[in-house]
Amino acid sequence: MSRIDRIREKFDKLGIDVYLETYLPNIRYLTGFSGSSAFLFIGKDFSLFVSDPRYEEQSREEVKEADIFIYRKDLFECKSNLPNIKLKLGVPADYIKCSLYKKLKEELEMFDVVLIDDPVRELRMVKTEEEIGYIRESQAITDRIFEDILKIVKPGKMTELDVAAEIEYRMKKFGAEKPSFDTIVATGAHSALPHAKPRSVKVGNETPLLMDFGNYHRGYSSDMTRTVWIGENPPKKFVEIYKIVLEAQERAENEAKPGMTGKEIDALAREVIEKAGYGEYFGHSLGHGVGLEVHEYPRISSLGNDPIKPGMVFTIEPGIYLTGLFGVRIEDIVVMREDGVEKLTGSPKNLIKIF
């Protein structure tokens, strides 16, 4: 059954006759279209993809399972291709802007327009083997970049920005499309900021180097974090923290099982860090879903109440951040299988020293 048909299956439960998709990652999921301006009407017996003249050729190349309508000046020119009868049109409350919602009600006056929950989220959470393959390939590029970077970073030679430039340069060179988020490269006390921006500050000697990066490949994201030590002599405190984070990360990977909630998987790692006395220094979620977006459902956090099913892909990335000193984070991407998680990240997790 096609993805669009699977949305149609939900119409009765949602109480709608037509669904209007406005969220681009969902449109890509449903039709294959990768451009930046589109709408998708799904009716019981029609589907109409709508875009503007910039995407005329690309729509015809990419869009599957929908008729294509290219408007010239105004989206609502497509009205001529929609049924002119009283139907209930559902739009996703989480994605549609108030101004467009108002305009929809005015322009599509034949429809009864209602706000509904995103019906695509549930589908997107469970990946097909094809999608898992794309994420695996995407992560393989990221792993290869990490291996390369370990060879070129030396104490005192490059700035954090240089390292980020070398990472992102290799994404396109190795066939990926682009970074899936702002690359994080942080040394010294800056590594204690979970969202550190790379600075024009030299990577020194005897300092942690935290790198968090990912790329899109065939539309699918990768995401990994490694913290390495630049120098020969990591302090005892750093080695201690590194071990705790690694133990937490591996416990979650080893003990997560299908049917556990995101909250339960989060707790597997969080308990290790709490028992070691660093609970308050792990201030973020254990992970997040990954797919056509680098952050998507399911939730892998204290708010994650849905059971994690086979086929769901997510990150496991505990961290401990000691403000003013250093931070350590270790992150893999995994896919839930029938018997536990399979890692999609290949890079080593032992403490690497570069000197």
| Interaction of residue 60 with a second copy, rule CB under 8 A | no
Nearer CB in complex with a second copy: 110/303? 303
| Interaction of residue 93 with a second copy, rule CB under 8 A | yes
- 292-321: contacts with a second copy (CB under 8 A): 303
CB 2 within 8 A of CB 65: yes
Looking at 25, 88, 95, 218, which residue binds a second copy (CB under 8 A)? 95
| Interaction of residue 75 with a second copy, rule CB under 8 A | no
- Give the x/- contact pattern for a second copy in 137-176, rule: CB under 8 A: ------------------------xx-xxx-xx-xxx-x-
**Nearest residue to 314 (alpha-carbon basis) of 344, 294, 288:** 288
Nearer CB in complex with a second copy: 97/236? 97
Which contacts of 111-116 are long-range, i.e. CB under 8 A and separated by 24 or more positions?
A: 111/18, 111/86, 111/87, 112/86, 112/87, 112/88, 113/89, 114/15, 114/16, 114/88, 114/89, 114/90, 115/90, 115/91, 116/14, 116/16, 116/19, 116/90, 116/91, 116/92
Looking at 11, 39, 55, 282, which residue binds a second copy (CB under 8 A)? 55
Nearer CB in complex with a second copy: 192/290? 192
CA distance 108 to 17: 14
| Interaction of residue 101 with a second copy, rule CB under 8 A | yes
Give me the least distance between CB of 338 and a second copy, in Å please.
33
Looking at 14, 75, 87, 96, which residue binds a second copy (CB under 8 A)? 96
| Interaction of residue 5 with a second copy, rule CB under 8 A | no
- Give the x/- contact pattern for a second copy in 171-200, rule: CB under 8 A: xxx-x-xxx--x----------xxx-xx-x
Largest CA distance in the chain: 74
Burial class (CB in 10 A: 0-12, 13-18, 19+), 42: buried
Q: How many CB atoms lie within 10 A of CB 187?
A: 23
